[in-house]
Amino acid sequence: MKKSFILLFIYVYLFSSFRILNEKSFIVPTGFPEPAYDFSKNILTTEKIELGRALFYDPILSRDNSISCSSCHSVYNSFAHTDHDLSHGIDDLIGTRNAPALINLAWHKSFMWDGAVNHLEVQALAPITHPKEMDESMNHIVFKLSQSDLYTKLFMNAYNDTSITGEKILKALTQFQLIFVSSSSRYDSMTQKQIKFTYQEENGYNLFKKNCNTCHAEPLFSTYTFANNGLGLDTTLNDFGRMQITKERSDSLKFKIPTLRNIEYSPPYMHDGRFKSLFAVLNHYTSGIHQTTNLAPELKSPIILSENEKVDLIAFLLTLSDKKFIFNPDFSYPRELFAK
Amino acid sequence: MVFCVFLLSLYSSHGQNDTVHFEINFTFNKEDLQLNKYYLLNGTDSVEINTLKFYISAISLLHNGETVWKEANSFHLIDAELNKSTKFDLAVKEGVIYDKFRFNLGIDSLTNVSGAMGNDLDPSKNMYWTWQSGYINFKLEGRSNVCLARKNEFKFHLGGYQFPYNCIQQVEFTLPQPDLIHLQIDLAEIISELRFGELDHIMSPSFSAMELSSSIAKKIRLRIP
């Protein structure tokens, strides 16, 4: 019985030291499908999101403390990396792919251009350990963070415990990235009947529905599946995309279909950033398709667009720009944390 | 809430378990294995093992072919460098009668697609592939003069959870006596089957990874006292 009282004392002590974390509900925008991410296993809290935000912007995640996630995923580019066809990382080393925009990640079923990563929580491991990106190891990051007063505090706030583990780091980073929801574009206002498209935008929207909607399906503007969209192989990279993961010839040159949301903010385009402008992209689809046996069936017959239609289609694509997303203070550099 | 947990602890402290001790040992030609030590191979060549880490998961006990007990959250990272990782106790419910012990060598596909995990499954344990999702089920690294690779190194990182490269292995033993499960792997048996001149590394899911995983699983023996 004495043992039981000691146990009771320990429980009371433990529970009294717990604080209630501020649970944050994830709001699915009107018209969006159910997310693919299972929030019940990593319940969003303000404190974990704050920790994830600090980690996302902190170069401590790289070998020499020089590169952070935000180095290649800048909020002003919808978390893509503008002006670089191929993203560069530690020691100015240049990778083999264009950093994709991070938008509406809760709906993605796989990650990376080739779908190499099967879950958002383990995605960060790829850039963290890549010798041309951050070139760091998870156990060394755990060590570095354990030496930091800031992170001791942030982990305590987030997990009621100062112990730092790979799992906690990855789940906090995930929470921050899950809140990157874009659903406040002009297109969204139109679908909610708050505004009307201009004649040009309307015409562009009709052209989009006729030519692009199968792969870039509304409202996420992607099916998040893989397709060969007729880009010829760049022999300086020899990147065969999805085939490198599945080892199936039928997956040769297939890449994950990117969303078109915030496309205005995230040039250059394609997995290797080969097109600098939306005009160049449309010219590829109308006259640059490289015919191969596994070309996406939608592209087997050429897409025909006049020059005026291309302008209208681009006018529609610009309605997918979400300024609230780009300037959302919750997404920006956490100056207040790092200034101390 | 506190009271409920308290009651639960009273209840569970009265529930009885049989402790079944699990242990796995490593040998090289029947001598205790020492990491980073050169051993003779075939009389002329030499081999040194630097890393030996692998997962044992889904431990269960059977009686007459029926599963009678399963370990909850059954994931154990065995590391030849950490003696304490090679032995642990299984809290088997009292009175369970069993004649067979079963486990998986490696991590199941559901766990492989369920995001970031903790404890022995934490990605900071260096048993998770980073460029492509998935656990490394079995890691064997070392050096041999027969290896043509840089610094004569060999590296076998065996994993893969998706068809057709799923390389998890189920292993089971009929137990002559309960309460003690003592396994053994003789590394010389594994190494002697490798052809370093032809294959000195495996780093991704592949048929070679499956073949080697299956061969290693067959080298796990029950140590009869």
Q: What is the CATH number of the domain that holds A64?
A: 1.10.760.10
Is residue A132 domain-resident? yes
pLDDT tens by residue, A18-36: 455 677 889 999 999 999 9
User: Is B124 close to A142, i.e. CB distance below 8 A?
Assistant: yes
| Encoded tokens for A213 | 């909607």
Between the alpha carbon of residue B180 and those of residues A292, B174, B224, the distances in Å are: 61, 12, 10
Question: How confident is the model at residue A45, as a pLDDT?
Answer: 96
For residue A121, give the nearest of B1, B2, B116 by CB distance: B116
Is residue A4 domain-resident? no
State whether A126 and A65 are in the same domain.
yes
Question: How confident is the model at residue A2, as a pLDDT?
Answer: 53
The distance of Cα A68 from the centroid of its chain, to the nearest Å, equals 15
Q: Which of A215, A200, A221 minimizes the C-alpha distance to A303? A: A215
Is residue A79 domain-resident? yes
Q: What is the mean pLDDT of residues A99-114?
A: 96
Is B73 an 8 Å CB contact of chain A? no
Percent of chain A past pLDDT 70, that is, above it, reads: 94
State whether A119 and A51 are in the same domain.
yes
pLDDT at A170 over 90: yes
State whether A95 and A177 are in the same domain.
yes
CB A48 within 8 A of CB A172: yes
User: Is B2 close to A41, i.e. CB distance below 8 A?
Assistant: no
Q: Give B126's contacts in chain A (Cβ within 8 Å).
A: 137-139
State whether A240 and A306 are in the same domain.
yes
State whether A43 and A147 are in the same domain.
yes
Is residue A193 domain-resident? yes
State whether A153 and A205 are in the same domain.
no
Is A18 an 8 Å CB contact of chain B? no
Q: How many residues does chain B have?
A: 225
Between the alpha carbon of residue A67 and those of residues A133, A149, B103, the distances in Å are: 8, 21, 42
Is residue B24 domain-resident? yes
ipTM at complex level: 0.82
Is A170 an 8 Å CB contact of chain B? yes
Q: Give B118's contacts in chain A (Cβ within 8 Å).
A: 165, 167-168
Torsion from C-alpha of A93, A98, A99, A103, nearest 10 degrees: 180
**Blockwise average pLDDT, block size 10, chain B, 225 residues:** 43 62 95 95 90 98 95 97 96 91 97 96 94 95 92 95 94 87 95 90 94 97 84
Percent of chain A past pLDDT 90, that is, above it, reads: 83
State whether A201 and A307 are in the same domain.
yes
Given pLDDT bands bounded at 50, 70 and 90, which one contains residue A300?
Answer: very high
Q: Which of A260, A257, A258, A256 minimizes the C-alpha distance to A187? A: A260
Question: How confident is the model at residue A243, as a pLDDT?
Answer: 95
State whether A121 and A154 are in the same domain.
yes
State whether A175 and A192 are in the same domain.
no
Q: What is the mean pLDDT of residues A102-113?
A: 96
Is B203 an 8 Å CB contact of chain A? no
* B194-202: Cβ within 8 A, 24+ apart: B194/B154, B196/B144, B196/B146, B196/B147, B196/B148, B196/B154, B197/B146, B197/B147, B197/B148, B200/B147, B200/B148, B200/B149, B200/B153, B200/B154, B200/B155, B201/B149, B201/B153, B201/B154, B201/B155, B201/B156, B202/B155, B202/B156, B202/B157, B202/B158
Q: Give A119's contacts in chain B (Cβ within 8 Å).
A: 113-116, 133
State the alpha helices, DSSP H only, in A212-268. Answer: 243-246
Query: CA-CA distance, A262 to A269, in Å (whole number)?
Result: 12
Given pLDDT bands bounded at 50, 70 and 90, which one contains residue A12?
Answer: very low
Looking at this protein, which amino acid is placed at residue A7?
L
Q: Give A193 to chain B, closest Cα distance, Å.
A: 38
Is residue A14 domain-resident? no
pLDDT at A8 over 60: no
State whether A312 and A236 are in the same domain.
yes
Q: Give B163's contacts in chain A (Cβ within 8 Å).
A: none
State whether A177 and A255 are in the same domain.
no
Which of A1, A112, A165 best tests the B interface by mutation, with the highest count of B CBs <10 A?
A165
Domain extent, residue B152, equals: 18-222
For residue B116, give the nearest of A15, A122, A129 by CB distance: A122
Is residue B7 domain-resident? no
Is residue A244 domain-resident? yes
CB B135 within 8 A of CB B161: yes
Is residue A1 domain-resident? no
Is residue B11 domain-resident? no
Q: Considering only alpha carbons, which residue of chain A is nearest residue B109?
A: A118
Q: Give B60 to chain A, closest Cα distance, Å.
A: 26
Is residue B10 domain-resident? no
User: Is B123 close to A137, i.e. CB distance below 8 A?
Assistant: no
User: Is B131 close to A130, i.e. CB distance below 8 A?
Assistant: yes
Given pLDDT bands bounded at 50, 70 and 90, which one contains residue A296?
Answer: very high
Domain count, chain A: 2
State whether A152 and A43 are in the same domain.
yes
Domain extent, residue A79, equals: 33-181+327-338
Q: Are strands B153-159 and B136-144 parallel, antiparallel or unpaired?
A: antiparallel
| Encoded tokens for B45 | 């060549």
Is residue B9 domain-resident? no
Question: How confident is the model at residue A95, as a pLDDT?
Answer: 86
Chain A, residues 230-259, CB within 8 A of chain B, namely 245
Domain count, chain B: 1
Is residue A24 domain-resident? no
A-B contacts (CB, under 8 Å): 85
Q: Give B122 to chain A, closest Cα distance, Å.
A: 6
Q: What is the mean pLDDT of residues A72-85?
A: 89
Q: Give B5 to chain A, closest Cα distance, Å.
A: 8
